[in-house]
Amino acid sequence: MNQNNRIFDGLGRLMNEAAGVADGVRREVETVAKSQAQRIVADMELVKREDFDALRELVQVQGEEIDALRKEIAALKAEQKPA
C-alpha cells in the first residue's frame, strides 16, 4: 500500500512539473509569435488609422474645391462665348 502511495505521489509530482513546463513553453511560444507579428507589421510600413482618416478628409475637401473651380471655369467660358 505504501509503495502505491509513493508511485502516485511521484506520478502526481511528475504531472505537475510537466504542466509547469508546458505552460512555460506556451508562454514562450506566444511571446515569440507576438514579437514576430509586431516585426512583420512594422516592416509593412502600414499607415495609422488616424493618418488615413485625416488624409481622406483632406482629399474629400480638395475634391469639393476642384468641383467648385470647374463650375467657375465653365461659367467664365460661358460668359466669354457670346462676345
Residues 61 and 35 in one domain: no
Residues 65 and 31 in one domain: no
Residues 38 and 55 in one domain: no
CA angle 17, 23, 13 (to 5 degrees): 15
Residues 63 and 53 in one domain: yes
Q: From CA 83, how far away is CA 80, in angstroms rounded?
A: 6
The tens digit of pLDDT for each residue in 41-74 reads: 888 988 899 999 999 999 999 999 999 999 999 9
Q: Is the pLDDT of residue 83 over 60?
A: no
Q: 61 is in which domain, residue-wise?
A: 47-83
Residues 55 and 37 in one domain: no
Residues 20 and 33 in one domain: yes
The tens digit of pLDDT for each residue in 5-34 reads: 888 888 888 899 999 999 999 999 999 999
Whole-angstrom CA distances from 71 to 37, 59, 60, 79 are 50, 18, 17, 12
Residues 64 and 37 in one domain: no
The percent of residues above 70 in pLDDT, for the chain, comes to 96
Q: What's the structural domain count of the chain?
A: 2
